[in-house]
Chains A and B, each alone.
Chain A
């Protein structure tokens, strides 16, 4: 119950105002098609430099929580998911809106998001310290394998191609080695003065997530993208409460599925929403109504995608392995404030860790309250043409990456990585494993070097890195995640080929 001791810190004037700004801003950013939660959080990081660590994390955490929920607004009113996590919401949410039940769908989505989100954060509160204590037993070889596990799990689960996912992770790990090495002080892979200090993680995050989105908007050309927003009629909130209470099964399935999926690194909100939707349909007494504007569909999808937010931070705060791409960006935010997640986070910085986690709990409730009122405004923002959005994001990316260290080098790195990532994405590579490689690379290298020194003084590299029960478990998990993803990829391909033959 240590978290209660720090609960008051969330309500200091500055912290609470930041929480409000993050929540309302996140709702609006989330409702804007093309602005994913990951990109929104990456663009916000430069604004946290002048803040204290806890304050910066409150802003980022609130934005993470409410962008996921805000994505439901455009999913329901425009049939455009604000984020991949809201794809399942469009299936019933938009149909409800077309039937004149837009307000009801929005109310249900925010109420279900709050229930799922609060449960997810409670899991974060109770699981994190336990796992953090367990992580104290980790030595350099275990931490090395954990970093590799983080990259390979995200690389294999988050990508459509296992090989390309792992290759993206390798590119990220290599990019992390650019600059001067910590032990010998030797130059590595520096072919431009801008790379002398290595690749700045925040500039890289902004480039890798924002610039490909900007170029994607350019690639659409001058088409008329002003999607028609369905008008929202008034609907009593008490009616939405009654529907939510009647749909306990969908709410329970959504919350449980989201929480479990959130704990698995790399799986993400998109899968949480779709799996919860599918499972709710299977267990529903009215399964034929799914897809025709059924409230249970919205409740299951939205409770799941918010329930995964809290648990996705458990591996991040305990083992330094981000559970989702947005959690990876949050890791960048932690590192920039000098906070290194892991076993000693709760011993060295309990105030920062608990204030951040508590703010996410309060943020879920605020998100629900404001979501019900801001939905109309957010829907209007969702109508902003992509041309304006592309120019705004580009401007923010340039100013944001410059403000990291007041260096043009960071802006060049941001742009170069962004353009490279756009083209890589067109060929099936994904940004998440690359970012993970970039973030976890220094951790992997430091522990590899430290481990190799210990290994040379003891029994050699192989027994040190490949022996011991914990090393073996981690290696087996690395191999199993790659094999499982390979199997799923092959199965999906066979299924697609069969469908093509049948057609």
Chain B
């Protein structure tokens, strides 16, 4: 028996998660009360679960033709950026204040993905300059122009 190739396995896992969500939505829609509130969700959930199970079955049988999945290289490339972004959004923005957290996250992301060499002083100065310019524009737009009071918390 041959081992499933990575995209096929990915398709099985991906469509399996969607199918699990579909089953959960159906279960909740048909069991929760008051039933009048779940009339429309029931209608959607029925179609949702049928299509999701169909997609899952196709993935298991290797019939999925659409979607390239994620290669290991793509995943390793995106992982640091994704982690920094998620930490920034779900924790740092609130804990440190929007502007401080955005400055740090922006600078880290720029440093992680900038093709300019990490050994040259000039490229670091450039990153600092771009970060500072961006934050000035963001502060001008949101704090001054739109009067959006973002969380300031520990820092700013």
**How many Å lie between the Cα of A263 and that of B82 in the bound state?**
38
A50-B109 contact, Cβ under 8 Å, with A189-B25, A427-B67: no
Whether, in the assembled complex, A284 has its beta carbon less than 8 Å from a beta carbon of chain B, the answer is: no
- Is A386 a contact partner of B36 (Cβ separation < 8 A)? no
| Chain A, Cβ-Cβ closest to B139 | A399
Residues in B whose Cβ lies below 8 Å from that of A171? 18, 21, 48
| Chain A, Cβ-Cβ closest to B33 | A186
CB distance from A236 to the nearest CB of B (A): 37
What sequence of 0s and 1s flags, for each residue 1-39 of chain B, a beta carbon within 8 Å of any chain A beta carbon?
000000000110011001001100100100011101111
Q: Which of B48, B66, B151 contacts A161 (CB under 8 A)?
A: B66
CB distance from B14 to the nearest CB of A (A): 4
| Chain B, Cβ-Cβ closest to A386 | B113
Residues in A whose Cβ lies below 8 Å from that of B81? 214-215, 218, 390
Whether, in the assembled complex, A452 has its beta carbon less than 8 Å from a beta carbon of chain B, the answer is: yes
Residues in B whose Cβ lies below 8 Å from that of A186? 32-34, 37-38
**How many Å lie between the Cα of A189 and that of B25 in the bound state?**
8
Q: Which of B55, B58, B90, B138 contacts A415 (CB under 8 A)?
A: B90
- Is B78 a contact partner of A218 (Cβ separation < 8 A)? yes
- Is B67 a contact partner of A219 (Cβ separation < 8 A)? no
What sequence of 0s and 1s flags, for each residue 54-94 of chain B, a beta carbon within 8 Å of any chain A beta carbon?
11001000001111111001110110111001101110011
- Is A164 a contact partner of B55 (Cβ separation < 8 A)? yes
**How many Å lie between the Cα of A300 and that of B104 in the bound state?**
46
Interface residues of A, count at CB 8 A? 67
- Is B82 a contact partner of A215 (Cβ separation < 8 A)? yes
What sequence of 0s and 1s flags, for each residue 407-440 of chain A, a beta carbon within 8 Å of any chain B beta carbon?
0100110010001000111111100000000000
- Is A415 a contact partner of B85 (Cβ separation < 8 A)? yes
| Chain A, Cβ-Cβ closest to B19 | A167
- Is B106 a contact partner of A174 (Cβ separation < 8 A)? no
- Is A46 a contact partner of B146 (Cβ separation < 8 A)? yes
Q: Which of A130-138, A368-376, A443-451 contacts B (4 or more CB under 8 A)?
A: A443-451
Residues in B whose Cβ lies below 8 Å from that of A428? 64, 66-67
Whether, in the assembled complex, A235 has its beta carbon less than 8 Å from a beta carbon of chain B, the answer is: no
Interface size class of B (residues with CB under 8 A): 35 or more
Residues in A whose Cβ lies below 8 Å from that of B75? 219
**How many Å lie between the Cα of A415 and that of B47 in the bound state?**
27
Chain A, range 264-304, C-beta contacts under 8 Å to B = none
A50-B51 contact, Cβ under 8 Å, with A224-B115, A452-B39: no
Main secondary structure of the interface of B (DSSP, over half): helix
Whether, in the assembled complex, A493 has its beta carbon less than 8 Å from a beta carbon of chain B, the answer is: yes
| Chain B, Cβ-Cβ closest to A189 | B28
Whether, in the assembled complex, A474 has its beta carbon less than 8 Å from a beta carbon of chain B, the answer is: no
Whether, in the assembled complex, A217 has its beta carbon less than 8 Å from a beta carbon of chain B, the answer is: yes
- Is A395 a contact partner of B138 (Cβ separation < 8 A)? yes
Residues in B whose Cβ lies below 8 Å from that of A163? 51, 54-55, 58
**How many Å lie between the Cα of A408 and that of B149 in the bound state?**
12
**How many Å lie between the Cα of A177 and that of B33 in the bound state?**
15
Enumerate chain B interface residues (CB-CB to A < 8 A): 10-11, 14-15, 18, 21-22, 25, 28, 32-34, 36-41, 43-45, 47-48, 51-52, 54-55, 58, 64-70, 73-75, 77-78, 80-82, 85-86, 88-90, 93-94, 98, 102, 105-106, 109-110, 112-115, 130, 134, 138, 141-142, 146-151
Enumerate chain A interface residues (CB-CB to B < 8 A): 46-47, 49-50, 159-161, 163-164, 166-167, 170-171, 173-174, 177, 181, 183-184, 186, 188-189, 214-215, 217-226, 385-388, 390-392, 394-396, 398-399, 402-403, 406, 408, 411-412, 415, 419, 423-429, 444-445, 448-449, 452, 493
Q: Which 8 pairs across A and B sit closest by C-beta, in order of nearness?
A: A428-B67, A428-B66, A218-B81, A387-B113, A221-B77, A186-B37, A427-B67, A170-B48
15 new A-B pairs (CB below 8 Å) besides A398-B89, A425-B67?
A170-B47, A171-B18, A173-B44, A177-B41, A217-B113, A220-B77, A223-B115, A391-B106, A394-B88, A394-B106, A399-B102, A427-B15, A427-B67, A427-B69, A428-B66
